[in-house]
Amino acid sequence: MGLLRLDEIVGLEVLSADANIVGNVEAIGVDTEEWYARALKIALRKGLEEAAGVKKPLFGQARFALDMKYVESVRDMIKLKEPLSALKTLVIDPDHVPRWASELLYRRVVCNKGREIGVTGTIFVESEGGWRIPFIEVEMDKDVFSEMNLKKATFKKREVKVPTSLIGTVGDLIMLNTSEDELARILEKTPRV
């Protein structure tokens, strides 16, 4: 499928290699140093707790994480490379995943000199070729957007794709490793959301 928005992945059914529905994707684990999707958080289908080796909770669904290397493809659902019987050996505790993509949403984004440029909207994931995260979507502040002389895409607000290679660090805010002037030059050449 190529480049996917986070909201196109979250909610998809997860299918084992032997055609069993495992559950639904709840989140994606993200490596913010290298910018790759590393894990899926899956809400397990009721009745599969024993097969997955996951404790059945008192209320609600059991959840577990699964390394992205076990994902074969993404289309209308996520197809795994392994059968349901192998699930028990593949499960990761979701608490061991350093950061979930949802933690990156609605974060303020600043340039390296402290100028706030906007707020994150979503992340984009390449489903083919290793699960790289090439862009984050940022809804630019109106004044900053005007100062950078950027043009709106048809029917869009002030949303731009910021290459993850420009992200210096992620903390309470997302700080870019570039100035607003350099960012403006890069965004002129970057495809619009």
SS3 track for 13-55: EEECCCCCEEEEEEEEEEECCCCEEEEEEEEECCCCHHHHCCC
Task: Retrieve residue 47's tokens.
Answer: 């009745």
Beta bridge partners of 74: 78
Domain(s) labelled CATH 2.30.30.240 in the chain stretch across 3-101, 105-189
pLDDT per residue over 110-168, tens digit each? 999 999 999 999 999 998 878 999 999 999 988 888 888 776 654 467 888 999 999 99
> Kind of pairing, strands 78-80 and 71-74?
antiparallel
Q: CATH fold of 3-101, please? A: SH3 type barrels. (2.30.30)
Whole-number pLDDT of residue 192 = 55
Whole-number pLDDT of residue 167 = 97
Whole-model pTM over 0.85: yes
Per this entry, what is the length of the chain?
193
- The SS3 of residue 183 is helix
Residue range 160-177: average pLDDT? 95
Q: Which residues contact 13 (CB under 8 A, 6 or more apart)?
A: 21, 22, 23, 24, 77, 78
Alpha-carbon gap, residue 71 to 21, rounded angstroms: 14
- Cβ–Cβ under 8 Å, residues 179 and 169: no
Strands (E) across the chain are located at 3-5, 13-15, 21-31, 36-44, 63-67, 71-74, 78-80, 91-92, 108-110, 116-126, 135-140, 159-163, 167-170, 174-176
* Neighbouring C-alpha atoms within 13 Å toward the C-beta of 172: 1
Whole-number pLDDT of residue 143 = 87
Q: Above pLDDT 70, what percent of the chain?
A: 94
105-189: CATH homologous superfamily? Answer: PRC-barrel domain (2.30.30.240)
- The SS3 of residue 119 is strand
Q: Which residues contact 163 (CB under 8 A, 6 or more apart)?
A: 134, 135, 186, 190
